[in-house]
A and B are shown apart, each in its own frame.
Chain A
Amino acid sequence: MTETVTPSPSMGDRLRQLPEAGRSLTRAADVDTRLLGLLAALAIIWIGFNVTTDGSFLTARNLWNLSVQSASIAIMATGMVLVIVSRNIDLSVGAMLGFIGYTMAMAQTEWLPDVLGLGLGHPAIWILSVVLGIVLGLVIGALQGFVIAYGFIPSFIVTLGGLLVWRGLIFQYAQGQTIAPLDPTFRLLGGGPQGSLGEIGSWIVGIVAVVIVLIGLVLLRRRQARYGFQVRPIWATVAIGVIATTVILGAVAVANAYPWPEALANNYAEANGIPIPPGGYIIPTGIAYPVLIMIAVGIVMTHLAERRRFGRNVYAIGGNPQAAELSGINTKRSITLVFAVMGLLAGVSAVVQTARLNAAVTGLGVTNELDVISAAVIGGTSFAGGIGTIPGAILGAVVMQSLRSGMVLLDVDSPTQDIIVGVVLVAAVGFDAWLRRKGT
């Protein structure tokens, strides 16, 4: 970093400078150190569980499971980042999810088939249900946001009220009855072997992603160079490109390494008149649809947060609400929008969760708000406002689900899981705060 000439340092000096060297390396490469720390924590958790479960954690199947199990919480956590960044909170996401999930289930099992007369299994049913769910989420999220922003009622109160209202409405719907089964096409959005991209589709998605990342890196360099800014050193760009390519294609390879369960594959082969080879008919599963949805949401939300005026304004509001207001930002509209986006994402998660469970139950989404908030916070989102990243929140959700999945493999009971996740949550935030204090 500095160009001052110093006498050649002793061995001890050099050792002492090691962490400093690491920091300057990441700074030179212009990458987010907080995110790297989270990745390191995840790596430790994964390797730890793999050792304690005698190698059944880091299998293609378990990682595939983990990706699907994390999806719903991760999707909502991306929205919760913006909510918390804007110095608000949304306690109603679980109840919204339940309410929306119930509405979609009613739509596809009763209203659309019977009232509209489409009949069960009509191909338009799943599309209409999904659109209904997402629009409903958007509307009730916007409603809560409007009350918060224009009614000057703290978001804690409004969304606490929302929690009670949406939960209560679930009961009003069907007197607590479970609604199942759901539309067969709709169910694919919840994952499972049929609800996945398959081998070729997954490779196409992976390769497209790699191409986009590489083009993005080149364009960024070019843009920075055009203005004569300091550009990342070429080695760093190349290294980031290589790492990103490896991670993306590696993830696709892992998803494809998980074959369809034997029973399903054999049924499929029989149904299509394919002779079953010795050793079984192998169909690679590929990336599950909920995971694809999660990735798409992550990209869109990152774009919104970092590359759009909306996101910039939300971060400004979180950093200094007064300054944001004085600089002409329409803070009320921004806050309303933040909650509308949160509601929309609760709708998306409702699709994933009901489709995955193939049912709407009264308990749908119960305590999800706590998981979502925890994921955002473990991912580095600060309750002081103005700080937090979307990829961090997604990683936070994966960390939490990794802990839970790993503990089930170790036969740890769910109350004990709660205790451990609770301790990890507080420890993670404490560690983060300690780093921040040291950093400044």
Chain B
Amino acid sequence: MSAVEQNHPAGPPVSKEGYLVEMRDMRVSFGGVHAVNGVSINLRPGEVVGLVGGNGAGKSTLMKVLSGAQLPDSGEILIGGQVASIHNPRDARAYGVECIYQTLALADNLHAPANVFLGRELIQRSGVLDDPGMEDATRKLMKRLNPRFRNFKGPVQSLSGGQRQSVAIARAIHFNATILIMDEPTAALGPAETAQVRDLIRQLKGEGLGIFLISHDIHDVYDLSDRVSVMYHGQIVGTVNRADVTTDQLLAMIILGKKPEELTAEELEALHASG
């Protein structure tokens, strides 16, 4: 019964305009600092939207709002065209929002199946944990995600970064997620593992999930995204179709906080020289 195998035969609910998620005029401030200042963003099924910006641009905060880890000061979230009220991670999950964090949010002392089912353990009728059932489901998931994954018994502490990331991804997709937030999914990985995660993102996209991809790696974002939203000082500089821009133009948006059409040739030149 995992999302990978049985992929929403009717498709996830979308708004009239075809959006899976719409966040409208979101605002979050921390003690007078506007971390997110009037941001609107949206996502369609089967689409990867890259979210880029410098440190402190507000991208992680924005996504924390969607995943329920951060309460906004104001703004509206619509999921499948309906207003969603998200107060905590549990609420977000009920709307099909799953998150893969930059910091690899795994309980290091537990084994892979326990991590996949963390907070949503399978329970037998007697109320006892169904550990074999969880292990079985994890094995099936991993056969798909990372066929070389073997260690289902030991604590995930002893796994490599890539293996741990596949545990985190397995956790996200097992519960029929329709909206996936990936916060720096390749930051802790080596080149081979990064390639593996990239393949996985394409695969999930092909299965109809909507994905927000936060990354520092401009090439990652450029290769994987359909659209890219650039944030600068808590605001959206612009959202562009990947096909319409170059990586240089994206970089300029990130660093200078200006849309491509506002850029001067000198600025581009200077950027190129320094980069």
Contact = CB atoms under 8 A, between A and B. Distances in A.
A313 B129 CA distance: 11
B195 interface: no
Nearest to B152: A229
Contacts of B101: 326
B62 to A, nearest CB: 16
Contact of B129 (A308, A326, A328, A440): A308
A324 B89 contact: no
Given A308-B127, A312-B114, A328 B109 contact: no
Contact of A440 (B93, B105, B110, B158): B158
Interface string B35-52: 000000000000000000
A308 B130 CA distance: 9
B259 to A, nearest CB: 34
B132 interface: yes
A316 interface: yes
Given A308-B127, A318-B109, A324 B158 contact: no
Nearest to B90: A328
Contacts of B127: 308
A23 interface: no
B125 interface: no
Q: Is the interface of A mostly helix, strand, loop or mixed?
A: helix
Interface string B238-271: 0000000000000000000000000000000000
A328 B107 contact: no
A397 B129 CA distance: 28
B119 A315 contact: no
Interface string A302-326: 0100111100110110111011111
A229 B114 contact: no
Contacts of A309: 121, 123, 129
A326 B109 contact: no
A325 B121 contact: no
B187 to A, nearest CB: 16
Given A309-B121, A312-B121, A386 B108 contact: yes
Given A312-B114, A316-B114, A324 B119 contact: yes
Interface in A311-355: 312-313, 315-316, 318-320, 322-329
Question: Which of B88, B109, B110, B114 has the most chain A CB within a 10 Å cutoff?
Answer: B109
Given A308-B129, A326-B69, A315 B107 contact: yes
Contact of B105 (A224, A322, A387): A322
B210 to A, nearest CB: 20
A227 interface: yes
B1 interface: no
A315 B106 CA distance: 12
Given A312-B114, A312-B121, A223 B132 contact: yes
B109 A387 contact: yes
Given A307-B129, A316-B114, A440-B158, A327 B119 contact: yes
B128 interface: yes
B107 A386 contact: yes
B207 interface: no
Given A315-B107, A319-B109, A327 B128 contact: no
Nearest to A318: B109
B82 to A, nearest CB: 21
Interface in A378-404: 385-387
A437 B99 CA distance: 32
A323 B129 contact: no
Contact of A329 (B118, B123, B171): B118
A306 B67 CA distance: 29
Given A227-B136, A325-B89, A328-B90, A312 B129 contact: yes
25 contacts: A226-B132, A227-B132, A229-B135, A309-B123, A312-B114, A315-B107, A315-B109, A316-B110, A316-B118, A316-B119, A318-B107, A319-B106, A319-B107, A320-B106, A320-B107, A320-B108, A323-B106, A323-B107, A323-B118, A325-B89, A326-B69, A327-B120, A328-B119, A328-B120, A385-B109
Interface of B: 67, 69, 88-90, 93, 99, 101, 103, 105-110, 114, 118-121, 123, 127-129, 131-133, 135-136, 157-158, 171
Interface of A: 223-224, 226-227, 229, 303, 306-309, 312-313, 315-316, 318-320, 322-329, 385-387, 440
